[in-house]
Amino acid sequence: MIVSKDNINGIFAAVGNTKLLRLDRIFPESGLEIYAKLENLNPGGSFKDRSSINIIQKAINLGKITKNTVIIESTSGNMGVGLAQACLYFGLKLILVIDPLINPHTEKLLVTFGARLIRVKQKDDSGSYLMSRLDKVKSLVKQEPNSFWTNQYENNSNPEAQRLIARELLDQMDNKLDYLFVGTGTGGTIMGCLREIQYRGLETIVVPVDVMGSKIFDAPKGNKKIPGIGAGQKSNFILPEYLHLPVYVDDRESVMGCRKLLQREAILAGGSTGAVVAAISKMRCHLRKNSKIAFLISDSGERYLTTIYDNDWVYKNLKLAL
Ligand code: PMP
């Protein structure tokens, strides 16, 4: 496939326009109206399809990516899947820097899509692998003369794409949304959504959800084992003054959130969605009665069958007996 700005149909046509569900069973006594947007239904299985494809398309249109360009990125998994999909479609080489926390299922997907994987093993001072991954990316970019670092941590095409999630969501809810809970990593999703809320002049309160040990909002210490949210550095996008105070969640609470969503609503979601469910659970007594709350099913739980949904893994890694 020749790289061209006209090649934007095919699989990309399936990204976005995800369904919104009303969930009556997750918090039945709360007096809250709960809604979930099924971002796991994107073809790559997560909302990061949106940013990965937008970053690649924009860079192609600007002539920053041509047919021999090698794409390089650091990923906890989902951005990698989106990029692998886009790079395969456009016939581009892709190198992804991953770390040991990646789900085995996601890793297999990446290999199946033809990405070359480089795994860092060194934790940084904060106990996260992010800085090691970024160091590796920077050295690869130096070595590879015709490379393009998609840089989801700083590239504005990331929040720009994620803004469409809120555009769809607010249309689906007729602009009547009191609280939006969002898990944070690069901060692209939460800030993209916030921008659309502000643009519409709405009073929706946006609540960031972060994990113990993350530096994004200086969370208390913790040793996270579940990939997706949290980061070993501050976000380049997040402006905390426009957000509610963050709700911190640990891995055990994320697992319990995932299991609750599965048992009560038959929705099989990934770890960051479990974290958000746990955060809503913590906050629910403080939220205005009858208010409308929305969250995103950020990725599919199929990627976590051998971790979050495996009782042995949960016991061994989190000392939680289920
Ligand atoms: N949830 C999941 C499942 C993710 O993969 C990510 C991105 N790593 C996030 C949440 C955080 O999203 P963002 O990078 O847009 O802050």
Cβ of 270 below 6 Å from ligand 1: yes
Ligand 1 centroid–CA 182 distance in Å is 9
Ligand 1 centroid–CA 2 distance in Å is 30
- Reported in sequence order, the residue ranges of the chain that DSSP labels E, i.e. its strands, are 20-23, 33-37, 70-74, 93-98, 116-119, 147-149, 179-183, 205-211, 247-249, 292-296
Alpha-carbon distance of 10 to 32, in angstroms, equals 39
Ligand 1 centroid–CA 80 distance in Å is 11
Q: Which residues, 6+ apart, have CB-to-CB distance to 157 below 8 Å?
A: 51, 54, 55, 58, 59
Ligand 1 centroid–CA 302 distance in Å is 16
> Is 27 in contact with 33 (CB distance < 8 Å)?
no
How far out from the chain centre does Cα 6 lie?
28
288 DSSP 8-state letter = P
User: From first to last of its 322 residues, what are the pLDDT tens digits of the chain?
Assistant: 445 555 567 899 999 999 999 999 999 999 999 999 999 999 999 999 999 999 999 999 999 999 999 999 999 999 999 999 999 999 999 999 999 999 999 999 999 999 999 999 998 877 789 999 999 999 999 999 999 999 999 999 999 999 999 999 999 999 999 999 999 999 999 999 999 999 999 999 999 999 999 999 999 999 999 999 999 999 999 999 999 999 999 999 999 999 999 999 999 999 999 999 999 999 999 999 999 999 999 999 999 999 999 999 999 999 999 9
Among candidate residues 219, 215, 212, the one with its CA nearest the CA of residue 233: 215
DSSP string, 187-226: SHHHHHHHHHHHHTT--PEEEEEEETT-TTTTPPP----S
Ligand 1 centroid–CA 114 distance in Å is 22
Cβ of 235 below 6 Å from ligand 1: no
Alpha-carbon distance of 132 to 83, in angstroms, equals 20
Closest Cα to atom 6 of ligand 1: 228
Burial class of residue 40 in the structure, from the number of CB atoms within 10 Å of its CB (0-12 exposed, 13-18 middle, 19+ buried): buried
Closest Cα to atom 3 of ligand 1: 228
Cβ of 273 below 6 Å from ligand 1: no
User: What tokens appear for 74 in the block?
Assistant: 């650091």
Atom of ligand 1 nearest to the CA of 299: 3
Which residue among 50, 99, 298 is best mutated to probe the pocket of ligand 1, counting the most ligand atoms within 8 A of its Cβ? Answer: 298
